[in-house]
Structure 1
Amino acid sequence: MKKNHPETDAIRIQLERSDFMEHSAPVYLSSSFVFEDAEDMRASFAEEKDRILYSRYSNPNTSEWIEKVARMEGAEAGFAFASGMAAVYSTLAALLDSGDHILASRSVFGSTHTLLTQIFPKWNIDHSYFRFDRLEEAEALIRPNTRILYAESPTNPGVDILDLEALGKLAKKHGLLLVIDNCFATPYLQQPIRFGADLVIHSGTKLMDGQGRVLAGITVGSHDLIDRVYRFARITGPALSPFHAWLLSKSMETLPVRVDRHCDNALKVAEFLSAHPKVNWVKYPFLKSHPQYDLARKQMKAGGCVVAFEVAGGVEGGRTFFDHIRLLSLSANLGDTRSIVTHPASTTHSKLSAEERAESGITDGMVRISVGLEHPEDICADLGQALDHVGG
């Protein structure tokens, strides 16, 4: 049978229908599910039957969303979480033991950095960082107790690109699990499993929802690895709500067309900013001036919705810029229909020291813009009038 394109799978996968045979999947707002008799109940809890027992374990709505994401990523299975960070924490915690070591890219989300530097050390789980642009140095940091190789690509907030194929080969060579945060790309633009990743993590809060409505996370990969994640999450309880899963499953139906528009707008915004005299530099994966432009073209279908740039005038220039934004939103989210401008040094990565931010390429004047679905001329006009107020 011919394999469907991901755009089709995102629309046509539907796991459950009631006796009413509804065209759109209903919301299964039930915490528990009933059994036919005592034997059915016993066999179900003994896992002799593959059925839904309790919504902390699974639910028809979460199962449908998981199946869509797994199919698009080329994965076998997955588990849905109440937030992106719940997915990051639970995935790593499920796979690590006391005394283990994680090798991670230095360019990770601020909360992931805090997890690695403050939370996991409580349980004697150590980490080392490598620079995203110095993969040749990463191998020297691998220890006998290293278990996981972890990275984001594109990175947050600098939209730098890591070589996923090189990471896959390094992980395979040393028997490590390669875990990739694919949030900025979505499974529509990039499938890390094709390049050797074992597990892929997403914050569904971002482009997958796309409208700033829900918190969600998901991890997909092989049946064996997801079973370990599932059994950890089943006990610790970070499961996604059925209603949010239903919203996300519906949002997946429009993910390809939305992301196409996000990417088209983002490239136009990046080109506009590149020509503005009050901007020191611009980075966008599909902008030809991006240092990893060729690599981005190899790994990604398009460049995503995030553009990073530096306002002239340092901290004061950045403050002036943000204070004169009128149309766009000042927020710390991304992947929304509404364009959002963020100052990473004082928000998403404020818990990092100045030295740590510098090592990650985050300058005081860096701005992260999540380009939305407004008309690109209107987005550029607002950015332009705010930049015109910057001195220098």
Structure 2
Amino acid sequence: MKTALPNSTEAVHAGVLRQRPSHTLAPAIAQTATYTFANTADLERYFAGGDADPERQEYGRYGNPTVREVEQRIAALDRAEDALLFASGMAAVTTTAFALLKAGDHVILFRDVYRRTRQFVINVLSRLGVEHTLIDPGAFDQLEAAIRPRTRFALSESPTNPYLHCIDLSRFAEICKKARVKTVVDATFATPCNSDPIGRGIDLVVHSASKYLSGHNDVLGGAVSGSSALISLIRDLRSVLGGIMDPHAAALIGRGMKTLALRIERQNATGLAVARALEAHPAVERVFYPGLPSHPDHKVAAEQMRGFGGVVSFTVRGGREAASRVVDGTRVAAIAPSFGGVETLIEQPCIMSFHELSDEQLAAIGISPALIRLSVGIEETEDVVRDVLGALDALGGA
């Protein structure tokens, strides 16, 4: 059964102070690196834990009221006890991993998680004595077999990039809880509007706030949500590593989140319309979109998601050159990395994300040179569909 997901009212009001200083409707940006104390007694009371304001800080690396308000809204949308913001999505992932792991521990990754996350685990954590196991997307038999006494957490995305695999979140949580292994899900593609990992038993949810949460391709940020105990552990390490978000960035993300549900509604609709149109086009070899019955994870996605998101991946007939012609032939879509903003973006992953790999190396990691990833914005659905189909029509007999 689908769980209740956030709506526009919550996207606007969740976590917002009922009465801001000076009675402003919009939040002020607390642009400060440090905080003052009235006298020595005030300072000692603060360090003794006797301050009346539980959110009070002493230094900007430990917290900021502008950042904190947005953290509380993200926690509310994720149905979590607490949340933290970071300077980037990777800062959220790396700090979380460092907080949960030590030398000799073991971590499990579904092999289609974000490339930089894989690189961090394989190239960085391994040098620090942390072992890892890569398993196939949604392969729960491999997950059960991979768990060891020193396994501390398992990490997956849902949906994944670029093939939009969706895992059964409840099953993932059930297997790991039985073995006392923490679960981490990168829900950037889904957003709190389309998926509820914590409601299905997942321990920690990670977002690249640069994407749908902010929604305007103008700010970097990351977030992690979960229980108060786990978030407190990660917060302590964030204070040491220093990956806290700037208050201006937090303000931009907070403003963008107010329209999150509205944007996602349009992007869900456009994504599905584009996917259906692509599947019917003779120049398209295959479409990857969990809202289509042809997607291998459609049943799982339909059961646990409210919408299927705004990213559509597809391969075209004619290989790398044909894919490049389609990318170059669009007029509404801009050629750029990232996704989740108000503008439609298009890219060829073999060039944008894996430019240094040969075709043989691409094949080894399952990336087709003919693959295109389209992230729909909030333009009129008909305009986006027409734009992509027009670029495909121009291929002719390619």
Normalising by structure 1, we get a TM-score of 0.94
Q: Deviation string for 1:338-387 (max 9, x for gaps)? A: 11111122223456776775465421211111011111222122212222
Is the CA contact 2:279–2:287 (under 8 Å) kept in the aligned structure 1? yes
1:70 aligns with 2:72: no
- Provide the rounded CA distance (Å) in 2 between the counterparts of 1:275 and 1:384: 10
**Shift of residue 162 of structure 1?**
0.8
Residue 20 of structure 1 aligns to a residue in which SS?
helix
Structure 2 counterpart of 1:30: 32
Q: Deviation string for 1:88-123 (max 9, x for gaps)? A: 111111111011111010111111111111111121
1:346 aligns with 2:351: yes
Aligned residue pairs total: 390
Is the CA contact 1:110–1:352 (under 8 Å) kept in the aligned structure 2? no
Is the CA contact 1:106–1:360 (under 8 Å) kept in the aligned structure 2? no
Instruction: List structure 1 runs of 4+ shifted beyond 6 angstroms.
Output: none
Is the CA contact 2:85–2:245 (under 8 Å) kept in the aligned structure 1? yes
> Percent of aligned pairs with the same residue?
34
Structure 2 counterpart of 1:15: 17
- Provide the rounded CA distance (Å) in 1 between the counterparts of 2:115 and 2:6: 35
1:124 aligns with 2:129: yes
Distance 1:299 1:360, change over 3 A: farther
Structure 1 counterpart of 2:258: 253
Q: Deviation string for 1:155-209 (max 9, x for gaps)? A: 0111111111111011101110100001001111111011111100000000111
RMSD: 1.9
**Shift of residue 272 of structure 1?**
0.9
Structure 1 counterpart of 2:41: 39
Structure 2 counterpart of 1:192: 197
- Deviating more after overlay: 358-367 vs 68-77: 358-367
Structural mapping, 1:43-62, within 5 Å: 43-49=45-51, 50=54, 51-62=56-67
- Provide the rounded CA distance (Å) in 2 between the counterparts of 1:67 and 1:110: 29
1:282 aligns with 2:287: yes
Structure 2 counterpart of 1:316: 321
**Shift of residue 314 of structure 1?**
1.2
Q: Deviation string for 1:38-76 (max 9, x for gaps)? A: 122233245443222222111111111111111111111
Structure 2 counterpart of 1:213: 218
- Deviating more after overlay: 314-323 vs 47-56: 47-56
Is the CA contact 1:15–1:63 (under 8 Å) kept in the aligned structure 2? no
**Shift of residue 286 of structure 1?**
1.3
**Shift of residue 80 of structure 1?**
0.6
2:178 alignment partner, one of 173, 176, 186:
173
Q: Which amino acid aligns with 1:177?
A: K
- Provide the rounded CA distance (Å) in 2 between the counterparts of 1:5 and 1:323: 37
Is the CA contact 1:306–1:368 (under 8 Å) kept in the aligned structure 2? yes
Distance 1:21 1:177, change over 3 A: same
**Structure 1 unaligned residues grouped into runs of 5+:** none
Q: Which amino acid aligns with 2:8?
A: E
